């Protein structure tokens, strides 16, 4: 019985979510032999779930009735997913100037008690909010984002196979 509980908890761990994402991107990378074929091929909104849309304007319709994801083509998604995988595997390297500019944008301006989000430090020496609550909030958000990115990598892989007419590869 203990093994069942452990496997359920492990299934929802951040470590496993990262591994699933990295595995999906590696599979995508191995499947997509000619990434340039992805250029100018739109990704349908229905394929990407409701999250991640970037345009508020009415998106164009495809000939088969689907809605195009208007901001990025499949090639852009391919590069984005590979970049995120590299950031997870190797860490994020930022220049000091970019980091300082990012901190300025992250500051919440509320007068007394303003908080620098990038460091989680109260400016006027007030005690931070419950760190455990902050941790769980961000952990949950990261897990959700990784799940969506994993689905995007799988959708892109399957769509690439459809575009080149190789639906039955590896099955």
Question: pLDDT for 16-64, tens place per residue?
Answer: 999 999 999 999 999 999 999 899 888 775 666 544 444 433 444 444 4
What confidence score (pLDDT) does residue 43 get? 76
CA–CA separation, 28 vs 158, rounded Å?
9
What confidence score (pLDDT) does residue 122 get? 53
CA–CA separation, 10 vs 58, rounded Å?
41
CA–CA separation, 69 vs 125, rounded Å?
45
Please state whether the predicted TM-score (pTM) of the whole model is above 0.75: no
The segments of the chain whose pLDDT lies below 70 read: 1-9, 45-71, 94-128, 166-171
- First vs last Cα of the chain: how many Å apart? 34
Continuous segment of H or E residues that includes residue 144: helix 131-164
What confidence score (pLDDT) does residue 134 get? 93
What confidence score (pLDDT) does residue 165 get? 79
Instruction: Identify whether the C-beta of residue 88 lies closer than 8 Å to the C-beta of residue 18.
Output: yes
What confidence score (pLDDT) does residue 58 get? 40
Q: Which tokens sit at 111? A: 């007068």
Q: Which tokens sit at 132? A: 């455990």
């Amino acid at each position: 019985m203990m093994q069942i509980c452990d496997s359920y908890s492990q299934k929802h761990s951040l470590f496993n979510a990262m591994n699933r994402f990295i595995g999906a991107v590696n599979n995508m990378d191995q499947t997509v032999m000619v990434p340039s074929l992805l250029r100018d091929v739109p990704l349908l909104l229905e394929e990407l779930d409701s999250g991640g849309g970037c345009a508020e304007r009415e998106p164009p319709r495809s000939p088969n009735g689907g809605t195009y994801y208007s901001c990025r083509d499949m090639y852009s998604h391919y590069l984005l997913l590979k970049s995120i995988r590299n950031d997870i595997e190797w860490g994020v390297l930022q220049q000091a100037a970019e980091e300082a500019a990012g901190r300025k944008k992250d500051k919440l301006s509320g007068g007394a008690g303003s908080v620098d989000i990038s460091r989680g430090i109260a400016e006027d020496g007030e005690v931070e909010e419950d760190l455990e609550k902050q941790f769980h909030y961000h952990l949950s958000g990261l897990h959700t984002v990784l799940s969506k990115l994993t689905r995007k990598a799988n959708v892109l892989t399957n769509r690439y196979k459809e575009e080149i007419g190789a639906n039955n590869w590896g099955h």
